[in-house]
């Protein structure tokens, strides 16, 4: 990817690898809570293009994190189908990565070692492995911090190290579960810009769950808006704006208002999706 202009326009962005297409169809997920089945996700259909950045927003409990766990295979109990490049997803696999909200770096390993463990089960020659580690630390701006222990990093640096670990396998799809949720507002804005650059350089398909509508719009080619109980896709918003983006863009602001309106919309009576709670007793 030598020509930066190619990166800036989603239409021109190369899908040269031709992989990383995720197709979710008829997906439902139930939990048993106190002996009663509860539907967490209901009839999710979503097709994600290779190299696309898809943001998912929705109220708490809409099952968006569960959806990511299903995609990466940490949870395998569901109805429906998830396919990556036409192969059905079964269990975890190195072609699908996940960045958690808490960085989950192993505190007993240096940053470089933490990245290295992701390559543990890839049969790679030593030099190639070392180069991959160095390249990915550089990609997230931590080239000089390979020997640091996680406790020595700031929150933003730790999360960037976690992104390096997730990307070092060169996964076709990277799921990000509120990766910036624990960061302060200022760091968050900085790491968002970093993440945009990393995504543009790596060309990996990314699916990010977030609570932050600004963040979803700033990064996403599309924003999936979910509703809760059960979790369903309420709306998919196209963000037709090339990367890297300008936060001040009027389009982003208009779309933000629309999405917030969707998220704060009063559920209609005929939705039939409301869980009925026992009436509150008043004295």
* Stretch touching another protein by CB under 8 A, among 96-104, 129-137, 197-205, 270-278: 96-104
Question: How many residues in the chain?
Answer: 283
The per-residue DSSP string of 45-113 comes to EEEE-TT-EEEEE--TTSSHHHHHHHHHTS----EEEEEETTEEP-S--TTEEEE-SS----TTS-HHH
For residue 33, give the H/E element and its range. Answer: strand 22-33
Minimum distance from residue 29 beta carbon to another protein (Å) = 18
Query: Cβ closer to another protein: 118 or 259?
Result: 118
Element (H, E) at 129: helix 126-139
Among the candidate windows 105-113, 131-139, 202-210, 255-263, which touches another protein by CB under 8 A?
Answer: 105-113
Nearest distance from C-beta of residue 109 to another protein, angstroms: 7
d(CA 28, CA 81): 9
Distance CA 143, CA 185 (A): 24
Mark the segment that binds another protein (CB under 8 A) among 88-96, 195-203, 243-251, 255-263.
88-96
Q: Does the protein bind another protein through residue 107 (CB under 8 A)? A: yes
Asked if residue 108 binds another protein (CB under 8 A), the reply is yes
- Cβ–Cβ contacts within 10 Å for residue 259, how many? 21
The span from the CA of 129 to the CA of 131, in Å, is 5
Contact pattern for another protein over residues 128 through 157, marking x by CB under 8 A: ---------------------xxx------
CA-to-CA dists, residue 79 to 25, 27, 71, 112, angstroms: 9, 6, 13, 39
Of the candidate residues 70, 98, 140, 208, the single one contacting another protein (CB under 8 A) = 98
Least separation in angstroms between residue 151's CB and another protein is 4
Tell me the window of 24-32, 91-99, 183-191, 262-270 that interacts with another protein (CB under 8 A): 91-99
Which residue ranges make up the site for another protein (CB under 8 A)? 72, 74, 92-94, 97-98, 100, 102, 104, 106-110, 117-118, 120-121, 149-151, 169
């Amino acid at each position: 990817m030598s020509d930066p202009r190619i990166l800036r326009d989603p239409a021109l962005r190369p899908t040269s690898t031709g992989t990383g297409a995720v197709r979710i169809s008829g997906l439902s997920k139930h939990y048993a809570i106190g002996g009663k089945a509860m539907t967490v996700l209901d009839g999710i259909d979503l097709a994600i293009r290779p190299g696309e950045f898809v943001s998912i927003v929705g109220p708490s409990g809409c099952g968006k994190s569960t959806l990511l766990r299903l995609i990466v295979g940490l949870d395998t109990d569901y109805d429906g189908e998830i396919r990556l490049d036409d192969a059905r997803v079964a269990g975890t696999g190195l072609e699908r990565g996940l960045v958690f909200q808490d960085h989950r770096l192993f505190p007993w390993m240096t940053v470089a070692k933490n990245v290295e463990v992701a390559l543990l089960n890839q049969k790679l020659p030593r030099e190639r492995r070392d180069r991959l580690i160095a390249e990915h630390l550089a990609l997230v701006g931590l080239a000089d911090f390979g020997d640091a222990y996680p406790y020595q990093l700031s929150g933003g640096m730790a999360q960037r190290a976690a992104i390096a670990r997730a990307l070092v396998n060169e996964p076709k799809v990277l799921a990000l579960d509120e990766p910036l949720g624990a960061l302060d507002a200022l760091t968050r804005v900085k790491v968002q810009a970093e993440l945009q650059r990393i995504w543009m350089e790596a060309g990996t398909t990314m699916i990010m769950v977030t609570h932050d509508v600004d963040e979803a719009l700033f990064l996403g080619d599309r924003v999936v808006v979910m509703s809760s109980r059960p979790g369903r896709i309420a709306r998919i918003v196209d963000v037709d704006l090339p990367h890297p983006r300008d936060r001040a863009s009027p389009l982003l602001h208009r779309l933000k208002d629309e999405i917030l309106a969707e998220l704060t919309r009063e559920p209609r009576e005929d939705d039939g999706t409301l869980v009925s709670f026992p009436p509150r007793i008043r004295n």
